[in-house]
């Protein structure tokens, strides 16, 4: 059976609807501004590779209304000001029909707060973030294709709870991305999870000695 991912379905629908609204003289340009360098470069690189893989598949099947989709990517280094600047430059220079695959909660929040999308009248599809701050916005130009962090972590803790674990801790980075994950309640006990945070979310720190070993089996399976 042929499987098509949700982001690809969303992309196809959005481009199919928007493409007739513009005069397609050549390629359909879709823009991406993501971290291809800096601490989140692996994430940004993988996002770009996934988007390109999707576009190649669509183009191999004839494109959209016969037009090929071309991805234009810029590296923001995971810096919010660069995200906004590069997105505006791309709107002026490449005139993309849509944006896709941005990386970073704070980066996307800056795009919305500066009204980059609403002023240009184009959507941003399939961002990497699932932060509650973005989910709650219900922005008409932001198309989310993943569950929120809170929903993901609740499912994880619920699953662990079925094996006997009742206490959980969250280690998060101190920025908009991390704060969307830190306030996860333990619904089994009604108490918030313990959590720690680093001082600088963008600074790489050397590895430290591993903590004392602990049993890997859940409490109800230890002998």
**pLDDT tens, N- to C-terminus, the chain (223 residues):** 444 454 555 555 555 555 554 445 589 999 999 999 999 999 999 999 999 999 999 999 999 888 999 999 999 999 999 999 999 999 999 999 999 999 999 999 999 999 999 999 999 999 988 888 888 888 999 999 888 888 888 888 888 889 988 777 777 777 666 665 555 544 444 555 555 555 555 555 555 555 555 555 555 655 5
For the domain covering 6-143, report its CATH number: 3.40.50.2300
Q: Please tell me the pTM assigned to this model.
A: 0.70
The four Cα atoms 122, 102, 108, 38 give a dihedral, to 10 degrees, of -150
Q: Are 197 and 34 within 8 A, CB to CB?
A: no
State in Å, rounded, how far the first CA of the chain is from the last one: 45
Starting from the edge strand earliest in sequence, which strands make up the sheet with 98-100, in order?
69-75, 28-34, 98-100, 124-125, 142-143
DSSP letter (8 states) at residue 64? B
108 close to 102: Cβ distance less than 8 angstroms: yes
Q: How many CA atoms lie within 13 A of 164 on its CB side?
A: 7
């Amino acid at each position: 059976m042929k499987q098509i991912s949700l982001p690809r379905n969303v992309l196809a629908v959005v481009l199919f609807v928007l493409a007739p609204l513009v005069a397609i003289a050549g390629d359909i340009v879709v823009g991406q501004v993501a971290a291809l360098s800096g601490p989140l470069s692996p994430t940004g690189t993988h996002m770009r590779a996934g988007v390109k893989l999707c576009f190649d598949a669509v183009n191999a099947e004839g494109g959209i209304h016969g037009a090929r989709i071309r991805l234009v990517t810029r590296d923001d280094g995971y810096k919010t000001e660069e995200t906004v600047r590069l997105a505006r430059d791309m709107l002026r220079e490449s005139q993309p029909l849509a944006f896709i695959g941005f990386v970073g909660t704070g980066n996307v929040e800056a795009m919305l707060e500066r009204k980059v999308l609403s002023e240009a009248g184009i959507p941003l599809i399939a961002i990497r973030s699932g932060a509650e701050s973005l989910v709650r916005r219900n922005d008409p130009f932001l198309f989310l294709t993943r569950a929120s962090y809170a929903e993901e972590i609740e499912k994880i803790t619920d699953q662990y709870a079925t094996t006997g674990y009742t206490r959980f801790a969250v280690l998060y980075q101190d920025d908009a991305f991390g704060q969307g994950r830190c306030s996860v309640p333990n619904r089994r006990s009604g108490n918030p999870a313990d959590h720690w945070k680093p001082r600088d979310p963008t600074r790489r720190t050397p590895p430290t000695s591993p903590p004392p070993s602990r049993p890997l089996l859940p409490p109800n399976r230890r002998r």
